[in-house]
Structure 1
Amino acid sequence: MECNDYNITRDLERKNLNLNPLQRGGILPREAREALHDFGDGYSVCDYCSGRLDEIAKPSISGFLEDLSKFLKVDDVRTTHGARESKFIVMHSICEPGDVIVVDGNAHYTTHLAAERAGLEIIEVPNSGYPEFRVDMDVYEETLKNSIDEYGEIKLAVLTHVDGDYGNLTDAKSFGNFCNKLNVPSLLNCAYSMGRLPIDANSWNIDFVVGSGHKSMAASGPIGVLGMKHEWAETLLKRSPRHTKKEIEMLGCTSRGAPIATLMASLPHVVSRVNNWNEEVELSRSFVAKLEEIEGITQLGIRPTNHDLVRFDTPILHEISKIHPRKGFFLYEELKSRNIVGIKRGQTEWFKCSTYGMSKDQRDYITDSFKEIVEKFAE
């Protein structure tokens, strides 16, 4: 048969400033690109495997997992195919169909899908609504207590450390402490934080932390991280009685080849960059302040922002779209002509973006470009 032309080319990162929050934390450093070249073939990490991915010594996946557990301050850690798979593994391991879990109101859709796949019932902790959309820990604790009173047992409480809509950073330590006090296992979804800012699962008293290598840890996808307190290892890492080396919930082996090789190669870079998190936050706040100099552009979420992912309400851009011949596509096209990408085509009422890892000059260029665009078309 003759295959279609799949158009497998991409120069977006090389030629443009990319504002897509989904992609900013996954950009590979040089060391990871070299590993990608060497380990791009399918089962490339399995040259010296004796039956357990986590025990491979060349490349030293065992040593990598040891370092990863120290980095996250967890007792045991495994890689998975993504944060969503990590969440499902926890839910499938410690819950039964029909069990009730509590989830914050800013949870990623994959948290809901993982729970639905496991056959669980979800109680949602409401956020504060417009304009902050804050998940308050007092409200979470009250909801959790009420849920225990109503259902008798809550099998899991899930908190999104940083949500993907507003970039709100939640109080993980408070969450871990009241979950422990109420004897409810806690899961912290760190897809937008692990690899960007320091994680200390043990001091936060968190039972499970999940992360995303391709979203925030400078790795090729798909790869996730699942860290846990040691008391849960027997349940989550239970081995098959038939295939005695294989961990059931991992389906034996998880991410192989390029994803884990790039995550391993990037870890020293990631360990170093989290030390610059406070500087990143200050740069993000400065970016917000300059963009808000444009009348009709306002940051949503907690102010001042504590993360690089930021959502803006942009009625001025939407008003321009109503009179522009290209309608909602004008913004994307104007930005693209200035080598700025990452804002969705056709989106003008609001947008979210991230300047993580960019220089101050690059961020200033972006804010200046928005000002030019508004001045060009605003009446």
Structure 2
Amino acid sequence: MVLDDTALKKFGFIPREPKDAINIDPLQTGGKLTEEARHALLEWGDGYSVCDFCGGVLDLIKKPPIDEFVHGILPEFLNIDAVRITHGARESKFAVMHSIAMEGDYVVMDELAHYSSVVAAQRARLNIKKVPHNGSPEYMTEAELYASAIEEVIKTTGKTPALAMLTYPDGNYGNIADVKRISKICHDYDVPMLLNGAYAVGRMPVDAKKLGADFVAGSGHKSMASSGPIGLLGVSEEYADIVFRKSPTNKNKEIELLGCTARGATIMTMMASFPYVVERVNKWDQEVENARWFAAKMEDMGIIQKGQKPHNHDLMFFEAPVLYEISQKAKKGRYFLYKELKERNIHGIKSGLTKYFKLSTFQVGRENLQYVLDSFQNIIDKYKT
């Protein structure tokens, strides 16, 4: 086969931009690799690297210590009975839905659920019942409305939903719903509860048994300083044999995981970063304090934090009428903010957004956050003079 040389020149090593910017993108702040993970990425990047040590079950590899990590450390970390590594939180959610529910069953989920939760349910051929939030300015998911949603499903179908799911926190406003109350309501109806912790596991303490979660989905590349795609799935003992059932023909392969999931660089970077992840989870109170401090300073400039107050997570949503007003007159229009921030080496607010945007303060630190605040003020002053 002969390929065009011009086309081939587009490939090879491609440097990433921006490389050293202050990053406030909610999708990226929790996924930045540690130095140990960067070394692991080089050491274990070959496609066969971990598979060389596999005797047939990936998560039972003794050396490197994947077995101890998956079956010992992670269940203790989440306080749940069984854990498996997956390709991401969405794969974790699908595995639960596909194994727990039958085609046509209902899953109840919050209105602010990530699109991947909806797609996972659709892929499993399930119906969806949404639990509404309370609207602006809080956009909070009310626990009691889970009972209403479950009752509506019972009234419509004659049976309870197969599953309930809560996004913890939601990916739009960073709200932390009353998961204990929601799980209690679900269990009163004998409905198991899945916690989508893509922005929680690896950032903040998550105790599945204390919260009442039967299942926990986590994201390594969003929140566990891992090279993605990678995630994890925690399952309580009651449902472990269902979710992790094995193939009748390939007896050591778990069906929902298609035998094997994340391997090579992904799992090795997760393990390499894990001591640091545990350390930062133990300092979560400081992250919340930084987020609240940052939000208050933004509001002093007329940029209003929407959602739960006082805020309990690093992910925040802002309404910025002052920036929107500038965008109506600025030469670069609605792209002015992105370009002004880029000139100041700040990355994370999507190009074209001025009136509404979200960001994260996670692991940015007070000094850099102050620089971000000063930059917003300088931009406002620049266009108001």
What TM-score do the two structures reach when normalised by structure 2?
0.96
Supply the AA of the counterpart residue of 1:89: A
1:272-351 paired onto structure 2 within 5 Å: 272-295=279-302, 297-351=303-357
Find the aligned partners of 1:148 and 1:166 in 2 and give their Cα distance: 30
CA shift, 1:144, in A, is 2.0
Aligned to 2:216: 209
Shift of 1:4: 4.7
Counterpart amino acid of residue 370 in structure 1: F
Are 2:38 and 1:12 aligned? Answer: no
Structure-2 residue corresponding to 1:92: 98
Amino acid at match of 1:354: S
Match of 2:50 in 1: 45
C-alpha distance in 2 between matches for 1:4 and 1:165: 39
Looking at structure 2, the residues matched to 54 and 266 of structure 1 have their Cα atoms a distance apart, in angstroms, of 18
CA contact (8 A) 2:319 2:357 kept: yes
User: Which whole-Å CA distance do the structure 1 matches of 2:347 and 2:53 have between them?
Assistant: 42
Contact kept in structure 2, 1:166 and 1:311, CA below 8 Å: yes
Correspondence list, 1:191-230, <5 A: 191-230=198-237
Offset at residue 269 of structure 1 (A): 0.9
User: Runs of 4+ in structure 1 displaced over 3 angstroms?
Assistant: none
Q: CA deviation at 1:54?
A: 0.9
RMSD, aligned CA: 1.2
Amino acid at match of 2:44: F
The Cα offsets for residues 300-353 of structure 1, whole Å up to 9 and x where unpaired, read as 111121110111001111111111111111111111111111111111111100
- Could you list the runs of 5+ residues in structure 1 that have no partner in the other structure? none
Give, as a single letter, the amino acid of the residue that structure 2 aligns with 1:316: V
Contact 1:80 1:226 in 2 (8 A): yes
Aligned partner letter, 1:5: K
Between Structure 1 and Structure 2, how many residues are aligned?
A: 377
Are the equivalent residues in 1 in contact too, given 2:113–2:170 (CA < 8 A)? Answer: yes
Which deviates further from its counterpart, 61-70 or 176-185? Answer: 176-185
CA contact (8 A) 2:107 2:163 kept: yes
1:11 deviation in Å?
4.7
Q: What corresponds to 2:124 in structure 1? A: 118
Residue segments in structure 2 that go unaligned for 5+ positions in a row: none
In the alignment, which residue of structure 2 is the partner of 1:268?
A: 275
Map of 1:242 onto structure 2: 249
What secondary structure does 1:220 align onto?
A: coil
Following TM superposition, by how much is the alpha carbon of 1:43 offset from its aligned partner in structure 2, in angstroms?
A: 2.4
**Are the counterparts in 1 of residues 244 and 254 from structure 2 also a CA contact under 8 Å?**
yes
1:63 aligns with 2:68: yes
Q: Distance in 2 between matches of 1:121 and 1:69?
A: 31
| Letter matched to residue 207 of structure 1 | D
Q: Separation in 1 of the partners of 2:18 and 2:182?
A: 39
Secondary structure at the aligned position of 2:241 is classed as helix
Task: Find the partner of 2:36 among 31, 38, 41.
Answer: 31
Task: Calculate percent identity across the aligned residue pairs.
Answer: 49
1:183-211 superposed Cα distances (whole Å, 9 cap, x missing partner)? 00110000000000001101222111000
How far, CA to CA, are the matches of 1:5 and 1:41 in structure 2? Answer: 22
Q: Give the 3-state SS of the residue equivalent to 2:27 in structure 1.
A: helix
